Amino acid sequence: MKKLGLAHLLLLLWIAVLIFRYELFYHISQLVLSVVSGEINILKINPRFYDYLVSFLLFFVLPVAVWKIPALKNIFQKRLTWLNAFLSLFFVIILFAPLLSTSNPDLHYNIKKCKLLPPFSEVFIESSVGENAPADSDLYNYFKSEIINRGISKGAEYYNDGNANEGRRVIFIFGTDEYARDVYSRILYGTRFAFLLGLGSVTLSFLIAFVLGLAAGFGGKFWDNLINRFTEIFLSFPFLFLIIVFLAFFGNSFWVVVLVLGLSGWMGLFKIIRGEILRLKSKDFILSAKMLGIPEYKILLKEILPIILSPLLVNLVLQFGNVIMAESALSFLGFGAGEEYFSWGSMINSGQYYLSTAWWLSFFPSLFLAVSLLTMNRLGNTLEKVFNPESTK
C-alpha cells in the first residue's frame, strides 16, 4: 500500500474495463461508423446513445489528457489512500457508468429465468429472430435496438442481421431483482443520480446561503436581524414533515427533490458565511482596501471570498453527504424523485420485502450508500485538517 499511487489503481481499472468490455467498444465504434456513413439516420438515434458515446470518447481521451496536462498529472501521482481510492472510484463510476454497466438498468430480462438470481450467477440468454425478438437476445442486437427507436422499420431489420440462433452469456454481478433487472447496473446509475442530486441541491443551498449571508453581512443591522430570525425559524423546526408533505402533494420529480433538499439545508452555510463576513469586515486589510477606493464587489471577490472558501468547502462536503442521506431516506419512504430514477433508497426499500430470500437486493445499495457517506465524511474531516491545522491533535 505504501508505494502504490493513485495512477496504479486507475490504470488497473482502465485495463480491466478494456479487457472485459472490448465487445461493447467494438459495437460502439461500428455503430459510429454506420452513422457516419449514413446507414443509420442520425435523427432516429436514441439519446441514450450519446451517453455511451461520451463515456467512450472520455475513456480514451482522459489517459492522454492525464499524460499531457501537468495539473492532472500531479493529482494522479498522489499516494493511494482509502479516501482517494474510493473518491476516484465514485468518480469513475459517475463518468463511465454506461461502459461499466453490463446491461440497461431498466431492462427486464426473461422473468421466468432471471428473477431474484443470487450474485455472480451466469445465465445463457437465447436469441430469437423476428420482429418480436426480446431486446436482450444478443449483445449486438440488444445494443442496436437500444440505440435505435423501436417501431421503426429500419429497427426491425437490424434484429435479423445479427447472429441468429445464438445467445449470449449474461453475468449478474450483484444478482437480479424481483423484476429480473440487473442490480449492479442499477446501482451504478444510482451513483450517478445520487451524486448529481447532491451536487444540485448543495449548489442551491450555497447560492441561498451566499446571497443571504452577503445581505446580512453588508446590509446593516436591520437586515441582519431579520435574516437571522428567519434562519432561526428554519433551524428550530423539523422540516422533514414539511418536506414529505410537499413531495407527497406536489408530485415528485428530480427538480422538486433538489429544490426541497436545497431549501432545507442552507442554514449552517449561512451562519458560517455571515459570521466570517462580520469577522472580516472590521479587519485592517479590508478597511485599507476600502480606503483605497476599491469597489465593494472587488473586495468581496478578491479579499473575502478566498478566506471564507476554506471553512465553507468543508461544510459543503458534509452537506453533500447529508443530502445523499436525506434523499435515500426519502426514497426509502417512497417520497423520492420517482421510479424512473435509480435511487439507492428505493432499491433498499423494494429489497426489504425480500430480505429473507434475497439479501442482495438491499445489501449492495446499502453498501454503496454507506461507503459514499463514509467517504464524504472522511473527505470533510481531511479538508478541515488541511485548512485548519490547529484542530489536528
Judged by the rule CB under 8 A, the positions of this chain that interact with another protein are 233, 236-238, 240-242, 244-246, 248-251, 321, 325, 328-329, 332-333, 348, 352, 355-356, 359, 362, 366, 369-370, 373-374, 376-378, 393
CA distances from 235 to 70, 113, 224 (A): 44, 52, 16
Least CB distance from residue 385 to another protein, whole Å? Answer: 14
Q: Which is nearer to another protein, 57 or 245 (CB)?
A: 245
Q: Which is nearer to another protein, 95 or 374 (CB)?
A: 374
**Do residues 358 and 175 touch, judged by C-beta distance below 8 A?**
yes
| Cα–Cα dist 176/187, whole Å | 11
The answer to whether the Cα torsion of 338, 342, 344, 349 is positive or negative is: positive
Least CB distance from residue 14 to another protein, whole Å? Answer: 29
φ, ψ for residue 40 (rounded to 5)? -115, 135
Q: Which is nearer to another protein, 153 or 236 (CB)?
A: 236
| Cα–Cα dist 378/191, whole Å | 18
Residue 301 φ/ψ region, left for φ over 0, alpha for ψ in the -120 to 50 degree band, beta for the rest: alpha
Q: Which is nearer to another protein, 308 or 317 (CB)?
A: 317
Least CB distance from residue 260 to another protein, whole Å? Answer: 12
Q: Which is nearer to another protein, 127 or 362 (CB)?
A: 362
Least CB distance from residue 380 to another protein, whole Å? Answer: 11
Least CB distance from residue 235 to another protein, whole Å? Answer: 9
Least CB distance from residue 309 to another protein, whole Å? Answer: 25
| Cα–Cα dist 97/191, whole Å | 9
Residue with cell 491545522: 389
β-strand partners of 79: 5
**Do residues 72 and 88 touch, judged by C-beta distance below 8 A?**
no
Q: Which is nearer to another protein, 25 or 86 (CB)?
A: 86
Q: Which is nearer to another protein, 222 or 249 (CB)?
A: 249
Q: Which is nearer to another protein, 120 or 237 (CB)?
A: 237
Task: Output DSSP code: residue 118.
Answer: P
Q: Which is nearer to another protein, 50 or 250 (CB)?
A: 250
**Do residues 17 and 11 touch, judged by C-beta distance below 8 A?**
no
| Cα–Cα dist 340/318, whole Å | 27
Long-range contacts at 248-254 (CB < 8 A, ≥ 24 apart): 248/335, 252/335, 252/336, 252/337, 252/338, 253/337, 253/338, 254/197, 254/337, 254/338, 254/341
Q: Which is nearer to another protein, 114 or 194 (CB)?
A: 194
* β pairing state of 121-126 and 167-172: antiparallel
Q: Which helix (H) or strand (E) holds 324?
A: helix 305-333
Least CB distance from residue 355 to another protein, whole Å? Answer: 6
Least CB distance from residue 13 to another protein, whole Å? Answer: 24
β-strand partners of 168: 125
Q: Which helix (H) or strand (E) holds 122?
A: strand 121-126
Least CB distance from residue 324 to another protein, whole Å? Answer: 9
Least CB distance from residue 270 to another protein, whole Å? Answer: 18
